Amino acid sequence: MDQELLLRVKELRTNFHTDAGVIKAADGVNLEIRIGETLGVVGESGSGKSVTAMSIMRLIPMPPGKIVSGEVMFDGKDLLKASEDELMRIRGNDIAMIFQDPMTSLNPVLTVGEQIMEAIMLHQKAGRTEAKKKAVEMLKRVGIPEAEVRIDNYPHQFSGGMRQRVMIAMALSCNPKLLIADEPTTALDVTIQAQILDLMNDLKRESGTAIMLITHDLGIVAELCQKVLVMYAGNTVEYTDAVSLFTKPMHPYTWGLLGSLPKLDVWAKQRLEPIQGQPPDLRNLPQGCNFAQRCNQKKPICEQQKPTWLEIEAGHFVSCFLYKEEGKRHD
């Protein structure tokens, strides 16, 4: 395993047992994040992006959820085998998380200061005064004006963008090695989103924190991420660096996504080329490739077998039968 590797997820499978059947939310997820790197995870709703993040943090509610198999190696430790005590030390300290909706992830009856201080006091063993000092400093760093006063405000006294800044301050207060950001700007307006992306970029440069950025916006991926993982119906279908993904995408699903994108810099009359059909029902996945029924490159084998995760070119992984022969097996 290479020295720089911070997180490696191998063949992760997470199921949810419901009355209507077993939902295979993550069905063979593979990914890698190196120290200080930003990985964008893209995919449509229900593709398993958030479930993957929650499985890494072991925050899947069990039951109904169950992590069936796989490996989550973080900093040399398999988180799927870690005890609850070990996880408590890691969550919020080594791995922090921010969510799409900053209102529901902040406690409405505590001031934002207390919420930021809680993590600092717990993980850094700091006293109240010291923690408060650090909290003010963090709020300043994320660009909250009059941080000394605002620290005693409650979440409802902040706007959406400001709340997301508070969440970022809280997440970064313990200098995590990995920050998992689940659609951090989806609920925000474009100009506010630009502020938050700008802030995340600055913080990334200063702190060297690795980021796993879950988003459905390919624009955000292009601007912020070095590596990209594309997910579809619980599978990881393509993983490569951001430039390759946009210049020579390999998986037919990625082609479809890029063809569905209205472009801002094209002036000629254009017609979108969407993927036909809809994603499969996760309770009733096909025998073969999950994308086969919508794929315009479909071969007979695609409906019979699941494709394997292959490294087609150095650092470019694809799970598709189009590339069966050329690739060498990824171990």
Binding footprint of another protein on the chain (CB under 8 A): 44-45, 159, 161-162, 189-195, 197-198, 216-224, 242-243, 246-247, 256-265, 267, 269-276, 278
State whether the Cα torsion 89-103-219-13 is positive or negative: positive
| CB of 120 vs another protein, minimal distance in Å | 27
| CB of 202 vs another protein, minimal distance in Å | 11
| Crossing angle of the two packed helices 190-207 and 160-172, in degrees rounded to 10 | 10
Q: Which is nearer to another protein, 62 or 243 (CB)?
A: 243
Q: Which is nearer to another protein, 83 or 278 (CB)?
A: 278
Q: In sequence order, which residues have a C-beta less than 8 Å from that of residue 100 and are 6 or more positions away? A: 182, 183, 184, 186, 187
Asked if 36 and 227 count as a contact pair (C-beta separation under 8 A), the reply is no
* C-alpha distance from residue 199 to each of 102, 193, 202 (Å): 16, 10, 5
Q: Which is nearer to another protein, 1 or 264 (CB)?
A: 264
CA distance 318 to 222: 19
Q: Which is nearer to another protein, 63 or 262 (CB)?
A: 262
Q: Per the structure block, which two tokens stand in for 176?
A: 């995590």
Neighbours of 220 (CB within 10 A): 20
Q: Which is nearer to another protein, 70 or 279 (CB)?
A: 279
Q: Which is nearer to another protein, 12 or 233 (CB)?
A: 233
| CB of 88 vs another protein, minimal distance in Å | 36
Helix (H, G, I), strand (E, B) or coil at 213: strand
| CB of 286 vs another protein, minimal distance in Å | 17
Residue with tokens 């990881």: 236
Tell me which residue of 245, 216, 234, 228 sits closest to 290, measured CA to CA: 234
* C-alpha distance from residue 320 to each of 161, 209, 250, 254, 283 (Å): 40, 32, 9, 11, 22
Q: Which is nearer to another protein, 11 or 44 (CB)?
A: 44
Q: In sequence order, which residues have a C-beta less than 8 Å from that of residue 126 and are 6 or more positions away? A: 120, 134
Residues in the chain: 331
| CB of 180 vs another protein, minimal distance in Å | 20
| CB of 220 vs another protein, minimal distance in Å | 5
| CB of 298 vs another protein, minimal distance in Å | 16
Q: Which is nearer to another protein, 20 or 190 (CB)?
A: 190
Q: In sequence order, which residues have a C-beta less than 8 Å from that of residue 95 and are 6 or more positions away? A: 56, 57, 74, 176, 177, 178, 179, 180
| CB of 296 vs another protein, minimal distance in Å | 12
